[in-house]
Every structure is written in structure tokens, then in C-alpha cells.
Structure 1
């Protein structure tokens, strides 16, 4: 492979020859492009910082048609950096490094890069200008000038801010097929995110499909072995997950040939028991309105679901005055999802759905994990009520004077009385609405499972 540049050319977003040069660079790459990622930093090896950069890089490279073959995490050691870069450079089309380019003593990536290819370091004029005028470093003896001290044969690639369209302050430094990016996730995302398609995009696309199986791996292992031999250009993966509510294993099928991937999928499905395949939606919140409409079209009791959503949609016209009494059971999850659908239908994305959570004793680790998942998935506001349900609602006029309606997941008057005693009166101006009144447990679980909604197994009362 030819080096990217040996003349120190600066590639900026305003360069007239930028795209032409990038096309010339790409023409030297093989059709099946690969990448190796080197994460540099003792803080990663000591578990002081979690590596999120490699996942971000892999995701974007995959979309560009580049297959990542190896990820290495190494220490802040010049020789180790040099050796790893040299080895990766000879094996993969692209080498992406992250970390080790700051002003401190342990930032040795540029030194290791220069040593890997026998390129002496020098103060690059453009980077010196950036350090002085953009970073405000005056003294030449300042550690900040280490950011300008790079291999003499290296080139600069400036990404751009996606919001402003202006060039980023600091570039990606490149030597041969090695691209050096920062270790800070914020800077890495900005720089790599803006440069990835320009530097690494290919004409290749990966086609991937996933199957969800309610069976242990030994049930379908022979079938997986058989299809992997029959389709050598298709990649298969099997990932057990006994903590999931809907399935016990996930199988991935991937190829750069869509037809081959589909053939491999069909053959695998023909070799396994049909009853272990699970119709699972890994993104239940995407296109929720359309998915709800498709769901009710298949139901004999479609009216009960439609009437419930229409009622909730009417209530959420004044979303700031509504909250859902949430106790992690299936009914409260159904209410939360229906409220989310209603918000999408009336296009009220600015108002967060509010959940009132009253723990019944100590919260288990499973329920704590589930609550966190609900908050992250639906972007809801979760309010913990310290008192009993009765006391908490009696005190709401003081803590939430603007709250008028609380949605409660009772399906019958008997269920309502389990939480709220019949003799107790609600505070003035607060109404307790039960949109699921008249639903059966079958209705609830049909809704949950058909739409692949997460639920807390600890609260599963089926």
C-alpha cells in the first residue's frame, strides 16, 4: 500500500483538491477493506476509565463498509506504541489509534508513530499556529507545544463541526495508513465522526439480520455448524442471554452479499424447530404509532385497545397536568407505552411523561435495573414517593399543585381497592383515571409481548 502522503500536505475543508486527493487515496485501497484499532492509555488498562471509543469507531466503520479485524488496548509506552502501529499497519488497510496525544508526559503516541516508520518529529508550522492562537499557549517551552510535535512526514486532516460547519480546531494526524485520534470521547466523536465517511467510506455494504431463539445453544448448535460450512462467505454469531424476558439466545447472520445472507438465514431456519423462533422487535419505540396500528389490526378485540389509546390521547392534551402511577407491574408498563404513543400522535415531544413511583419496601436490584431501563428508554421523569400510595396522593396538592390527573393501571374496581381503600377520598382537583378498566390479563400480556415491551420479571404475575 502506498502512503497517504509524504509531503506534509494539509487537508482542510476548504481545500479545492481535497475530494480529488481522497479519491486517489481510496483507489490504492483493496476492495475488502479492513481496520485495526489501537486504544492507548494506562487508564484503560487500570479500569480507571471505560473505553467507549472503540465501540463508536467500530459502528461507523461498519457503516462505511470497513470490517474491523482487531482491537488492541496498550499502555503509554513508546516502544509498545511503535511496535503495535508497525504490526497493525502491515496487516490492515487502516489503522486507527485513540489516545496519547495530549501535553502530559504519558502522551507518547506521536513519538511512537514516528518511531514505527522512522520519521523524526518536528514542530509542524500549522499546529504551532493552532497551539499559539487557538489554545493560547505563548511560551515555546510550555507542555502545550507537544501537540504540535509530530512526525515530519505526517499529514493533517481537519474535520468540521456538524452544527456550525466550521473546521475543527485540531486535526487528525496521519502517517501512511495510520490515523491518530484523541482519547477523550467528546473530541474523538467530533473528529472521527466528521472524518469517517470522507476517509474510509467504501462502495461495500454489510447486510445483517438477527434471529431470536427461545432455546439454549445446544438445541441449534448443529444447525449453525452446518450452515456455516455451506455458506463460507457468510458470518454467523451466537450470543446466549438467559437474563432476557423473551429469548435465550440471539443469532446474527451477516454478509456483504444480501442474497447469500438471506439464503443462509432461510436454510438455518429450516434446520431448527420452528417453535423456538421468537418474533422479537429490538427497537419497539421506533415507529410506535404504525406498530400499534398493525397490532390492533390483528386483534379480535381491537376496539378495547383503540378506545384506551384515544382516551389517553385526550388526557395528554394537557400533558403537564398528568402523571402515571407506576409500580413496575405489567399494567403500569402498558400505560407508559400508550402514553408514549399518544404523545407521538399529538406530536407533544417537548413534555416528558411523568411517572409516580412508590416503592413497596426495599427495591430489589432487578427492579432498580428495570426502573433505570424505563427512564432511559422512554426518557420519562421518575418521581419517587416516599409515603404509602394513599399518603403520597393525599399530599400531592402540596407538592404538585398543577397535577390534575393520575393514570392508574387497575383493570377492575377490585384491583383499585387493593391499593386505595374505598373509604378514602382523593384530594380536591385530582382525578384517578383507569384507562385499562375492562381489560383482562390476557389483553395486557398480549399487548406487552406482541410489541416486545420490556417488563420486570420480579413483578410478573401471569
Structure 2
């Protein structure tokens, strides 16, 4: 909106600190926004804190009493927790927002006291109320902030002198930021440039790029899931990485055929957090996105087998992936054969399971792209889109599409089994300049036949050796 944020404070549930901070902010800044602390429990003290900041009392608001009784029930007394939200500072004003295009409105008003706007803390409610009331509550500035980002695959110390030189020249008109990210698999440093002059920013951005080592600049995809379909299908037409077209084309065609043969709710995609099923989930999502656009009929289903002791990082990544792709987990336990029997009962509509099996996996010599489970197994169609892929192709496509993957792979793990039998791959071990033993990331393993080397012995045996 052209309004610069000058200061942010996070305050605990201390009434005196809340009131003094609000009073201080109100005297210094044009707008003050609070979020949270307006509910019915003992720790909801924002209304009282705002009143105290301006030396006011809390007063019962008849309009809010009606709303609270409508929501919580008319039987509650004014002293009950349900009525706490009806007591607001004496000079407070109530604001209702309404969007005539969407028909959206806020059921409970936002209150203001002088230049203080009191929002709810629940993110969805705050966002909705802000969008509905932004033009009513804030004076939009005619200033426009222009913004650019540069992502680098190197640490910040290696570019510190360049950034210092650039900042000395542009500090009066460009706000320069440098933010390391030690857990990102595709870049290590984000540089931000902000300016009120768009032409000046474009000039400065171009100059900074010319100063930085070009081989370290990364074209980072900030939302690979949202753009999954376009990225995948554009890569099929790419001339810069022709070696990826054949494996990718075969996988996409197999997934498209699966979606022609089965309804979306008849398909499950196997997922356990490993690299093979990670690229598989991404490709499946991309093909579904291509077929249905924004009108995907329901959630994609992911088959997850619980049982073996997994790594904490793997568990976190699995949870993040379910959320990232809006996957509906179908969780089964124990051995896969027993688990599929369980799924037959709990999800009788599922007919096909998309698997991240590759030819190099055990017992995969006779598999085809589509093949039924063995006669003594529960009858499911096994779909194997990446059956002919090599280890190197899995990583080349993960990296080309910038798909988020489990952080263990950046720590030298090349194949994730159980926590009890998996270790970093010794083929990736090296000693750094300080004499510390470390491991290169999994995508740097050049000999794909050594993919499972870290799983040939138990961790205890490796440590003992």
C-alpha cells in the first residue's frame, strides 16, 4: 500500500508492557496495528491494554453483546467468558468490511482507538479483515516500493566485499538486504533490493548482477508447486537439457495414461519421503494440474506406510509434502502386503497405486509401466512411471524442476531406509580445509551403482569400524 513498516514488536501477556508499547507506538507512528489477544480467555488482554494506553476504561458495547449472544448463546451472563469480547475501550469505533464482488464480509467488527487498529490473531481472520478494511482504515500512500531479489549458491562472506562496495554507492536510494539460508537445497544467500524509483532499481539490479560471480547466481523458483505443470511441460520442449526429455516424457505419458484409465479418487501415489517418490509426487501433481487446471476434483491421495523407525528430518519432510501438494494421506501400517489388505477395506475405491520403483531396485527386473500385483497379493494396478530412470536422472530432474526434497540428501545420504540401517554414503565423504570429515550432497554421487552403499551395514557397524 506504499506504507513503510518501521517497527515490529512481539509482546508477552503482560498488561503494563502491552499498554506502554501501544502508547509509545501511537505517539511515534501514523498507523499502529495489533494482532491477537482479543478472545475470551485469561490471556486475551489487548482490549484492556489499548484502553489503559489511552487512560480509558473498558465499556460494554450493546452491538457486540448482541453478536456474542448470537454466536455463543443468549443464556450467558455479562460476566461470563463468552461476553468478554463485548467489553472494549470507551472511545472505540466498530468497522465492518464488505466486498461487493465476492460477497465476503467480516462477522465480527474490527475496532479502532485513535490510530490503533486491533486485528484478530488467527492468520486467516486477520488476512480477511485486513483485505476487507484496508481502504477504510489506512490512508494509502502514493509511494510505490519496487523490489528485486538475487539468489546465490555461495556463502555471504564470499560476496561481502562486493555488497559493501555496492551499498556504498547506492545506500542513499537502495535498501540492500542479505539473508543466508543454510537449509535451502538450491541457494545459500538471498539478496534483496528495494527502492521507490523503479528505473533506478532496474539499473542498480543490473549493475549488482554484473559485479557478482555469474556462476553462483541461481534462477530460483520460489513456488515450484504452483508452477509445476508449466515447468514440467516446458522442460519437455527444452533445448538446453535434451538428455532429460526422454526419461521425463516417458514418465509423463505413463501418468497421463493412468489418469485416462482411472478417476482421480481411484489412484494413490506411494510416498515415504525418499527422492524417487518425491519427484514422482511432483510429476503426478503437474500432470493432474495440466489435466484439470484450477478445478482439480478433490485432493490427491498419498499412500504412506508407517512402521519402520524413520529420521526426524524425514518425518518433517513428509508432513511438509502432504501440506505442500495438498495430499490426503492414506496411512497403512506394518508390512506392505498386510497394509494393502488394510487399504482394500478402508479405501475400497482405490484401484491403482503409483510407485517410485526403478529398475535398479530389488525384485524389479520383470516389472512394466503397468502391472497388477502378484496373484497372492491384494489386487491393485501398480503404475511405475520412473521404472527406467537412473539415479543421475532422478537427481537431474529434481534439481532442474527445483523440487523440495528431504534435507538428509544434502548431508550425504543417498538412499533412505530405516533409521537403524541407513548412514551417509561413504563415497561422498571428504575432509574439509579445517580437517573435519564431511559429506557432499547426494546429487554429486557420480557412480549410481553405489546408491545404496550407506545401507549395506548398520550404523552401529559403521561407527564401530
TM-score > 0.5 by shorter chain: yes
Aligned with 2:144 (options 205, 217, 223): 205
Can you list the C-alpha shifts for 1:85-114, whole angstroms capped at 9, x where unaligned?
Answer: 221112211011234445666655444434
Distance 1:252 1:344 in 2: 31
What's the TM-score once normalised by structure 1's chain length? 0.73
Aligned length, in residue pairs: 397
What SS does structure 1 have at the residue aligned with 2:177? Answer: strand
The answer on whether the counterparts of 1:325 and 1:357 sit within 8 Å (CA) in structure 2 is: yes
Aligned with 2:330 (options 383, 388, 412): 383
Which deviates the most, 217-226 or 164-173? 164-173
Aligned with 2:133 (options 190, 195, 207): 195
What residue is the counterpart of 1:32 in the other structure?
A: none
Distance 1:97 1:213 in 2: 35
Can you list the C-alpha shifts for 1:190-231, whole angstroms capped at 9, x where unaligned?
Answer: 433421243224333333232222211111111122222222
**Structure 1 regions of 5+ residues with no counterpart?**
1-63
What residue is the counterpart of 1:282 in the other structure?
A: 222
What SS does structure 2 have at the residue aligned with 1:436? Answer: coil
Can you list the C-alpha shifts for 1:121-160, whole angstroms capped at 9, x where unaligned?
Answer: 6555644665667763775666766545544444322224
Aligned with 1:93 (options 18, 30, 52): 30
The answer on whether the counterparts of 2:105 and 2:132 sit within 8 Å (CA) in structure 1 is: no
Aligned with 2:253 (options 290, 310, 334): 310
Q: Mapping of 1:56-455 within 5 angstroms?
A: 64-102=1-39, 107-118=44-55, 122-124=59-61, 126-127=63-64, 130=67, 136=74, 147-160=85-98, 165=103, 168-185=106-123, 187-200=125-138, 201-232=140-171, 233-298=173-238, 299-301=241-243, 302-317=245-260, 318=262, 319-347=264-292, 349-358=296-305, 361-389=308-336, 392=339, 397=344, 400-412=347-359, 414-415=360-361, 417=363, 425-426=374-375, 427=377, 429-455=379-405
The answer on whether the counterparts of 1:389 and 1:420 sit within 8 Å (CA) in structure 2 is: no
CA pair 339-99 structure 1, distance change in 2 beyond 3 A: closer
Distance 2:128 2:333 in 1: 42
Distance 1:220 1:409 in 2: 40
What residue is the counterpart of 2:435 in the other structure?
A: none
What SS does structure 2 have at the residue aligned with 1:350? Answer: coil
Shift of 1:359: 5.8
**Structure 2 regions of 5+ residues with no counterpart?**
416-441, 446-465
Which deviates the most, 186-195 or 263-272? 186-195
CA pair 399-262 structure 1, distance change in 2 beyond 3 A: same
Distance 2:301 2:41 in 1: 46
What SS does structure 2 have at the residue aligned with 1:284? Answer: coil
Can you list the C-alpha shifts for 1:395-429, whole angstroms capped at 9, x where unaligned?
Answer: 765665444333333343x435269999x935474
What's the TM-score once normalised by structure 2's chain length? 0.73
What SS does structure 2 have at the residue aligned with 1:67? Answer: coil
**Over the residues paired in the alignment, what is the CA RMSD in angstroms?**
3.5
Distance 1:446 1:225 in 2: 35
Distance 2:346 2:45 in 1: 55
Distance 2:387 2:81 in 1: 68
The answer on whether the counterparts of 1:253 and 1:261 sit within 8 Å (CA) in structure 2 is: yes
Distance 1:206 1:242 in 2: 28
Distance 1:111 1:392 in 2: 55
The answer on whether the counterparts of 1:159 and 1:195 sit within 8 Å (CA) in structure 2 is: yes
